[in-house]
Chains A and B, each alone.
Chain A
């Protein structure tokens, strides 16, 4: 602080410099009350609670590196003839966007590294958001009061996909241009308005001369701006709601057990930021990503095999790749179902996971707040559903890379396409059933452990010759952890007639709700956790069982 030197003269009268700076700031910004409220904010400790941090830090890295790239990138589709540093492109006509990307890669100091950090961080950002979202989903951390924050997070993921798409389209290389053409095809498949949207978006016929400039402002301004706002709102809500924690001794729905934000979490989070930056920078320094120089400039008359989007768009690519090329021709108009159905499914599949929290709260009718994260096994239907959703998602990804599966595993691309077609329907069903069975099995195991203790592996021979294994009873803390979760009773429609014998009206939505509730919490869909009475009965009296 520059004020430090002036304070030396009369130390006995003036407060220390730091305090005076803080006083100054408090008088204008009110930092004392802010700090008082937030500095001792408690965060629980668990590695899975740091997945969102990975996403946040990679987002920050993307913003930082992105700013650097904007200094050298020319978002223009004016055509020039290249005579830069990369010999294999000499004499080729290309847009300024592509040429400036080559310049960033070969001439700008640190340009290639920054480009690679930007791109690798983007892939990791989306992957981290995906995993973070699944953590929240499987632990039921989206329940009241966090539904809105769940939606914020979901929106961040979807916006991240499109920010990524508009970003990798900017260099105007043959690969990304093919991706933009693919997107234009998807837009064209929209009935009635498709052609208009396409003309509007590209300023005329594809590819036109506006695409890069428009994608540029969307990519660097519009979408990241919204995302930054959403991320801040996301964080504010995390602060406001406080973080969820796993059940354990001393942890209740009304407290948070963990470490304070200052100094522990500030230090940890700050350090973690640099670790994330370090890992991403190391990957970017060692591994090539999107070598645009090898791809050539985009020309609508050229196309290459192995043209896939970045991974987060891969599942949409897969849906289109495996969809039969159905088409309806009516009164001179073509309805390209082969593209339009995948486009619809793309939105639908994403929406399904977004609305699950609302469906679940409607089925349970639970309006209470929940701050204890659930173990996935204790909500078998939800966990099964989540795994089924992931299965659909990843089967779509397999479809998106069907050609590489074919060449690298010496398979027929047609067989892979059929595998994906069948897997798209059968995969989630199988995944749901298997996951649910595993969850129920784990619940049974928990109940067994609570009632009979842990298998010690020690075999004892009794005087009359019988062999028994000694089970060690669990500690009080473990007993608590394993039985802390709540279990819902399935919703009942109630008697068909009321107390006066008059037939009650039961709406179809109520019937559906009862049915879903039974599917989630009915008999065979969850294992009743051991009660205290059961525990007492078993542990008292007879020594072994």
Chain B
């Protein structure tokens, strides 16, 4: 130590101390700093937010305000979460074409990557429901019977027995669930878009959501069997009655006319 202390006034001593200090902080930083991958993610996330903000400024800001604070034309997006954005933009509902009772589903104009960027930006405005992962929404192995019971208790009032959709007041409606992806059904339950109430995990746990998705896919999916023949829209007695009148009775009257026209004719004398 004597040697060291003797040289403490050496002209280069300050430089050495500085180097040592730098090495120590550098080493400590290297040891404790987050992993490199995470670092890259952070960059990507901020990049996505950046990109999302740009997309937002073009496609959304006119109604929802430049900072997502909402205007008279559109609600605030603070706290709606990425799931809401993924649903609304992912089903083509947003950006809305025109104001009205309800914004209809239409062609999706953003790519999934852009939707994710938009979602990232809106999520950055305030915490909200997060876009579910594939494993959260995959209905494989779920209890279809239980899902049906849940569906009839919670969903059928508006969406009809098998999710064919139904009318609400003043031109609003519950859309058909035919062909809606499991992810979007999940997000709709999670976020409660437009006129739909939301069913967060606290009232409807993830497992029950899966059951419901499984039921909808079982009774209104592409592979749903129709043992009785054509379904006539699966709308129940109204379409059945219309069919019975027009095609049932219509055909029978046509037959009656045909029979009456082919009668045994008395021979002309």
Task: List residues of chain A with CB under 8 Å of any chain B CB.
Answer: 45-51, 53-54, 82, 87-92, 105-106, 112, 116, 120, 123-124, 127-128, 131, 174-175, 259, 264, 268, 271-272, 275-276, 279-280, 283-291, 293-296, 299, 301-312, 314, 400-404, 406-407, 410-414
User: Which B residues between 48 and 100 are near A, CB-CB below 8 angstroms?
Assistant: none
Per-residue CB contact flags for chain B residues 154-173 toward chain A (1 = under 8 Å, else 0) read 00111111101111111101
Chain A residues with Cβ below 8 Å from B160 are 304-306
Chain B residues with Cβ below 8 Å from A105 are 227-228
Report the separation of the CA atoms of residues A112 and B219 in the bound assembly, to the nearest whole angstrom. 18
Knowing A304-B157, A407-B166, A414-B170, say if A47 contacts B260 (CB, 8 Å). Answer: yes
Q: Shortest beta-carbon distance, A145 to chain B, in Å?
A: 25
Which of A283, A312, A411 gathers most chain B CB within 10 Å?
A: A283
Interface contacts (Cβ under 8 Å), in number, total 207
Q: Are A303 and B148 in contact (CB under 8 A)?
A: no
Identify the stretch in B15-23, B30-38, B133-141, B248-256 within 8 Å (CB) of chain A at 4 or more residues: B248-256
Candidates B101, B241, B252; contact of A311 at CB < 8 Å = B241
Report the separation of the CA atoms of residues A472 and B232 in the bound assembly, to the nearest whole angstrom. 51
Q: Shortest beta-carbon distance, A336 to chain B, in Å?
A: 21
User: Which B residues between 169 and 189 are near A, CB-CB below 8 angstroms?
Assistant: 169-171, 173-174
Chain B residues with Cβ below 8 Å from A404 are 167, 235, 238-239
Report the separation of the CA atoms of residues A524 and B229 in the bound assembly, to the nearest whole angstrom. 54
Q: Are A413 and B229 in contact (CB under 8 A)?
A: no
Asked if B29 is an interface residue, CB under 8 A from chain A, the answer is no
Q: Are A304 and B156 in contact (CB under 8 A)?
A: yes
Candidates B158, B169, B259; contact of A268 at CB < 8 Å = B259
Q: Shortest beta-carbon distance, B259 to chain A, in Å?
A: 6
Chain B residues with Cβ below 8 Å from A272 are 255-256, 259
In the complex, the chain B residue whose C-beta lies closest to that of A289 is: B240
Report the separation of the CA atoms of residues A404 and B232 in the bound assembly, to the nearest whole angstrom. 13
Q: Are B259 and A291 in contact (CB under 8 A)?
A: no
Chain B residues with Cβ below 8 Å from A402 are 167
Candidates B153, B167, B227; contact of A301 at CB < 8 Å = B153
In the complex, the chain A residue whose C-beta lies closest to that of B151 is: A296
Report the separation of the CA atoms of residues A123 and B248 in the bound assembly, to the nearest whole angstrom. 9
Knowing A91-B146, A131-B249, say if A290 contacts B227 (CB, 8 Å). Answer: no
Q: Shortest beta-carbon distance, B192 to chain A, in Å?
A: 18
Chain A residues with Cβ below 8 Å from B244 are 120, 123-124, 127, 311
Q: Shortest beta-carbon distance, A398 to chain B, in Å?
A: 10
Chain A residues with Cβ below 8 Å from B165 are 407
Chain A residues with Cβ below 8 Å from B240 are 123, 289-290, 310-311
Chain A residues with Cβ below 8 Å from B219 are 88, 294
Knowing A124-B249, A127-B248, say if A88 contacts B215 (CB, 8 Å). Answer: yes
Knowing A47-B253, A47-B261, A294-B161, say if A88 contacts B148 (CB, 8 Å). Answer: yes
Selected A-B contacts with CB under 8 Å, 13 pairs: A48-B256, A49-B260, A88-B148, A127-B248, A264-B264, A284-B229, A288-B226, A293-B227, A304-B160, A305-B159, A306-B236, A308-B238, A314-B241
Task: List residues of chain B with CB under 8 Å of any chain A CB.
Answer: 101, 143-146, 148-149, 152-153, 156-162, 164-171, 173-174, 215, 218-219, 226-232, 234-245, 247-249, 251-253, 255-257, 259-261, 263-264
Q: Shortest beta-carbon distance, A258 to chain B, in Å?
A: 9
Q: Are B171 and A411 in contact (CB under 8 A)?
A: yes
Q: Are A175 and B169 in contact (CB under 8 A)?
A: no
Chain B residues with Cβ below 8 Å from A312 are 241
Chain A residues with Cβ below 8 Å from B247 are 283
Report the separation of the CA atoms of residues A314 and B245 in the bound assembly, to the nearest whole angstrom. 13
Q: Are B236 and A175 in contact (CB under 8 A)?
A: yes
Q: Shortest beta-carbon distance, A92 to chain B, in Å?
A: 5
Q: Are B251 and A279 in contact (CB under 8 A)?
A: yes
Report the separation of the CA atoms of residues A268 and B255 in the bound assembly, to the nearest whole angstrom. 12
Candidates A275, A302, A307, A314; contact of B255 at CB < 8 Å = A275
Which of A49, A53, A131, A304 gathers most chain B CB within 10 Å?
A: A304
Report the separation of the CA atoms of residues A283 and B167 in the bound assembly, to the nearest whole angstrom. 29
Q: Are B241 and A310 in contact (CB under 8 A)?
A: yes
Q: Shortest beta-carbon distance, A18 to chain B, in Å?
A: 24
Q: Are B252 and A412 in contact (CB under 8 A)?
A: no
In the complex, the chain B residue whose C-beta lies closest to that of A113 is: B228
Chain A residues with Cβ below 8 Å from B144 are 87-88, 90
Knowing A271-B259, A306-B164, say if A128 contacts B249 (CB, 8 Å). Answer: yes
Q: Shortest beta-carbon distance, A116 to chain B, in Å?
A: 6
Knowing A88-B219, A123-B248, say if A406 contacts B167 (CB, 8 Å). Answer: yes
Q: Are B156 and A106 in contact (CB under 8 A)?
A: no
Candidates B149, B226, B235, B259; contact of A50 at CB < 8 Å = B259
Q: Are B249 and A88 in contact (CB under 8 A)?
A: no
Knowing A47-B253, A311-B244, say if A112 contacts B227 (CB, 8 Å). Answer: yes
Q: Shortest beta-carbon distance, A330 to chain B, in Å?
A: 30
Q: Shortest beta-carbon distance, A536 to chain B, in Å?
A: 31
Candidates B101, B161, B251; contact of A412 at CB < 8 Å = B101
Q: Are B167 and A403 in contact (CB under 8 A)?
A: yes
Chain A residues with Cβ below 8 Å from B238 are 306, 308, 311, 314, 400-401, 404
Q: Shortest beta-carbon distance, B172 to chain A, in Å?
A: 8
Candidates B161, B169, B228; contact of A174 at CB < 8 Å = B161
In the complex, the chain A residue whose C-beta lies closest to that of B162 is: A294
Chain B residues with Cβ below 8 Å from A128 are 249, 252
Report the separation of the CA atoms of residues A271 and B264 in the bound assembly, to the nearest whole angstrom. 14
Q: Are B148 and A414 in contact (CB under 8 A)?
A: no
Q: Are B243 and A287 in contact (CB under 8 A)?
A: yes
Q: Are A112 and B228 in contact (CB under 8 A)?
A: yes
Candidates B152, B162, B236; contact of A308 at CB < 8 Å = B236
In the complex, the chain B residue whose C-beta lies closest to that of A405 is: B167
Report the separation of the CA atoms of residues A407 and B233 in the bound assembly, to the nearest whole angstrom. 12
Chain A residues with Cβ below 8 Å from B230 are 286-288
Given contacts A175-B236, A305-B167, A412-B170, 9 further A-B contacts (CB under 8 A): A51-B253, A124-B244, A283-B251, A291-B228, A294-B234, A305-B160, A311-B245, A406-B173, A407-B165
Q: Shortest beta-carbon distance, B175 to chain A, in Å?
A: 9
In the complex, the chain B residue whose C-beta lies closest to that of A82 is: B145
Q: Shortest beta-carbon distance, A59 to chain B, in Å?
A: 13
Which of A54, A82, A294, A301 gathers most chain B CB within 10 Å?
A: A294
Q: Are A286 and B229 in contact (CB under 8 A)?
A: yes
Q: Shortest beta-carbon distance, A152 to chain B, in Å?
A: 21
Chain A residues with Cβ below 8 Å from B152 are 174, 296, 299, 302, 304
Chain B residues with Cβ below 8 Å from A268 are 259, 263
